[in-house]
Amino acid sequence: MAPLHPHAGDPVFDLHVGGKMEIVSTVALHGPDELSLAYTPGVARVCEAIAADPSLTQHYTWVPNTVAIVTDGTAVLGLGDIGPAAAMPVMEGKAVLFKQFGGVDAVPICLDTTDVEEIIETVVRLAPSFGGINLEDISAPRCFEIEARLKERLDIPVFHDDQHGTAVVALAALTNALRLTGRDAATVRVVVQGAGAAGVAVARILLEAGVRDVAVLDRQGVLNSERHDLTEVKAALARDTADVFGRRGGLADVMAGADVYIGVSGGQVPEEIVASMAADSIIFGLANPTPEVHPDLAHKYARVVATGRSDFPNQINNVLAFPGIFRGAFDVHATAITEGMKVAAATALAELVGDDLREDLVIPSPFDPRVPGAVREAVAEAARRDGVARR
């Protein structure tokens, strides 16, 4: 007898049989009375009301609680450009996390195009069906333009999780690591290796949180205005980071005496460069599955070490952020997700650690039941403060 599927017996494939999601009705249809209310003729009255006042979709449809997870499959996890079909299991997984950790319904949308204009136009046309857009696994630098232009055209939250989810959780962990090591954001020296989606967002949120001395590197070295090979995004970042303190050169030049290293590049840092950092340093090697600085090496020189992996302490996991951020934004019908909302989410995460703070606990677990509510409340309050809440 043939196996039920080509990889039967493998627990990973067995779990994925038939996908990880389904659509479930919230109403019961036991007879003609219920059918006439849920569908014709009753539904016509709701349609007419929404036609007269489109804002009523916020009350009478699933739109305000539903996010579209949009990808083109060009930067999927650590797999790279594997295309939209192969990206679907990841997008389904993301939708499951939205529901499990934020109570948010999510629909995976894998687009068979990598053209910036086509992606933007497609999302704009789909937007009336959703309360928010979560961009996922779209390669840099295209992701920056796509997000920026969608934010300009849509009046619902648009959030590229590869950028901002990582940045929020990294800031939360760093906030506690600075507290543990007696450092201040205004005087700490930070090196960010990697100038893709996550690296740019991490640098930006650090600046927003009051860190002043940040050096960001790509494969050619420190981003600074003396270089003439920078994209518009990198050039703007250079002006706000390395230019301020005159940081130049390569990784070895800026790591000597640095307090913090945040790796989002996938490269490997030689031990002699790690050893050149300041005493009681902080090392976040976030590449998966191989951190830029393996924890065994990092612990020889650093006081606080974090990775993106679940088998080491202090996992920088986006699931700590994005479900609660969208839940909080949806609760107040926010028109956007602001920098203030992101920083508020990071602050809420950091504060959850509280008096339990120690070297191997600078960020809460994704399974800490307090996380979704804390992030949700902080984001909703920040949305009101920033003037983007509609209720």
The catalytic residue positions are 39, 94
Which among 316, 321, 206, 198 is positioned nearest to 259, based on CA atoms? 206
23-29 — which CB contacts under 8 Å span 24+ positions? none
Q: Which residues fall within 8 angstroms of residue 63, CB to CB, at 6 or more apart?
A: 57, 128, 129, 130, 131
Q: Do 162 and 136 form a contact (C-beta atoms < 8 A)?
A: yes
The pair of three-digit structure tokens given for residue 374, joined into one six-digit string: 């804390």
Q: Please, what's the b/e burial string for 285-310 (b: 16 or more CB within 10 A of its CB; e: otherwise)?
A: bbbeeebbbbbebbeebbebbbbbbe
The pair of three-digit structure tokens given for residue 264, joined into one six-digit string: 């989002």
For 18, other C-beta atoms within 10 Å of its C-beta total 8
**What residues pair up with 261 in beta bridges, in sequence order?**
191, 283
In Å, what is the CA distance from 334 to each residue of 94, 168, 192, 252, 344?
A: 21, 18, 31, 43, 15
